[in-house]
């Protein structure tokens, strides 16, 4: 072995390794110092992320209920405020009161089975299957029961179930009950008008005010009707007595101011209590004055006599033969109380003579009769009456 030391040379670095190192760390840079700096930046970034997450969790834990309530009230816009409805003397016919409603937030409920068991035990009228379906949904907010009583609210509150809360809504109340139900109408569970004056209010801009956010509590003027609650009560009382006396299925009456055309009272019995709007679905409780369909009967004679006078072919003294029944086709037209003589046109109206009115109509002719009725009633748009009497 020679006296010369053997020196091993360091392995040469390939060009690929040099290229990658220069791209990652640059040239002439202390790799250990740069690694420590990068680890420090990573620690700071992760700490910031976790700090933000922790802060948001604390925020939701403190303000979760109020936040959910504000979100629900703004998005759903349910049970919005409505103006009071009063009669001509300022007596309240319809007004809003605050009432709590029960809601749930399925994402926040820890034990759904326990929550359903406690809620159905406290509120027996809740359907367990329906509550389970709602609480099992992925929604952030679901209604469980609308318009509960303050006692029920206290009982549910004492259960202390996370994710179960209350939202105060406007509930429509009718202090006079069924007294003016057909005039006022009623609202649905969301305080939206679906009949009578309540529906008219929504159709004349109230719904638009709600959507715009201007129809808030106590900022709306009461709607004053021409109806007098005292006259309405008296008329309803008389109609109920007459209905019982004559064993009628229904009765209706109307009191109006002949000088102005104002409706002072309008009653149709049987009526319904708008505080329990389900009664309105009963077909026997319709408004006979606005919805009922009736034959014109003897009131049609006024139009026939007006036609004769308007044509100039007859006057109040024109005579008609009412001595015997009038035969027309297979029909025989007679009077309930025959006079047995010739009668004038004014007597035809006074005694409501079927024979006299029929003879006057025949003297004018069928086409003239059609033309007169359509000219008086269908100047702008043909009505169902004109279509029905027109040529077939």
- CB-facing half-sphere around the CA of 201: CA atoms within 13 A: 30
Tokens of 38: 């990068």
Fold equal for 85-224 and 297-389: no
CB burial of residue 353 (10 Å; 0-12, 13-18, 19+) = buried
Highest mean pLDDT among 10-19, 141-150, 213-222: 141-150
Crossing angle between the packed helical segments 366-377 and 354-364, to the nearest 10 degrees: 90
For the domain 297-389, what is the CATH code? 3.40.710.10
| Those residues with Cβ within 8 angstroms of residue 161's Cβ, 6 or more apart along the chain or in another chain | 109, 114, 115, 118, 119
Q: Regarding predicted confidence, which is higher, 73 or 354?
A: 354
pLDDT band with cut points at 50, 70 and 90 for residue 154:
very high
CA-based end-to-end distance of the chain: 137
Q: Which fold has domain 85-224?
A: Penicillin-binding protein 2a (Domain 2) (3.90.1310)
What are the pLDDT digits (tens) for 219-252? Answer: 578 889 999 999 999 999 999 999 999 999 999 9
Alpha helices in 268-344 (DSSP H): 300-311
What are the pLDDT digits (tens) for 156-199? Answer: 999 999 999 998 888 899 999 999 999 999 998 888 888 899 98
For residue 331, give the 3-state DSSP assignment: strand
**What is the average pLDDT value for the chain, to the nearest integer?**
81
What are the pLDDT digits (tens) for 263-298? Answer: 999 999 999 999 988 888 898 899 998 888 878 888
pLDDT band with cut points at 50, 70 and 90 for residue 77:
very low
Is 142 in contact with 167 (CB distance < 8 Å)? Answer: no
Residues annotated catalytic, as ranges: 298
Instruction: Show me where the domains of the chain are located.
Output: 85-224, 229-285, 297-389
């Amino acid at each position: 072995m020679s006296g010369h030391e053997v020196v091993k040379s360091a392995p040469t670095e390939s060009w690929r390794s040099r290229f990658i190192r220069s791209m990652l760390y640059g040239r002439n840079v202390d790799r250990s110092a740069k690694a420590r700096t990068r680890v420090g930046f990573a620690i700071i970034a992760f700490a910031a992320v976790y700090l933000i997450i922790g802060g948001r969790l604390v925020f939701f834990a403190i303000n979760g209920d109020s936040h959910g309530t504000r979100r629900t009230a703004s998005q759903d816009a349910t049970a919005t405020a409505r103006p009071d409805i009063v009669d001509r003397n300022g007596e309240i016919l319809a007004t809003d009161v605050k009432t709590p409603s029960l809601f749930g937030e399925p994402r926040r409920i820890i034990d759904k089975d326990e929550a359903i068991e406690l809620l159905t035990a406290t509120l027996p009228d809740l359907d367990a299957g329906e509550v389970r379906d709602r609480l099992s949904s992925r929604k952030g907010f679901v209604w469980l029961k609308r318009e509960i009583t303050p006692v029920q609210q206290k009982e549910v509150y004492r259960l202390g179930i996370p994710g179960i809360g209350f939202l105060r809504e406007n509930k429509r109340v009718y202090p006079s009950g069924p007294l003016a139900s057909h005039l006022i109408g009623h609202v649905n569970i969301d305080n939206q008008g679906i009949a009578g004056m309540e529906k008219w209010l929504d159709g004349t801009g109230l719904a638009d005010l709600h959507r715009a956010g201007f129809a808030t509590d106590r900022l709306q003027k009461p709607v004053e009707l021409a109806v007098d609650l005292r006259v309405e009560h008296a008329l309803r009382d008389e109609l109920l007595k007459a209905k019982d006396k004559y064993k009628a299925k229904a009765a209706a009456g109307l009191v109006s101011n002949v000088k102005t055309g104002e409706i002072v009272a309008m009653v149709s019995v049987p009526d319904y209590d708008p505080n329990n709007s389900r009664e309105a679905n009963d077909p026997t409780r319709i408004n006979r004055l606005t919805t009922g369909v009736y034959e014109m009967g003897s009131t049609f004679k006024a139009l026939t006599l007006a036609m004769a006078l308007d044509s100039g072919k007859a006057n109040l003294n024109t005579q008609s033969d009412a001595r015997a029944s009038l035969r027309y086709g297979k029909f025989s037209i007679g009077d309930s109380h025959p006079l047995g003589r010739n009668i004038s046109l004014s007597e035809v109206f006074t005694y409501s003579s079927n024979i006299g009115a029929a003879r006057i109509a025949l003297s004018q002719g069928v086409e003239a009769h059609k033309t007169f009725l359509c000219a008086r009633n269908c100047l702008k748009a043909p009505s169902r009456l004109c279509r029905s009497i027109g040529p077939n």
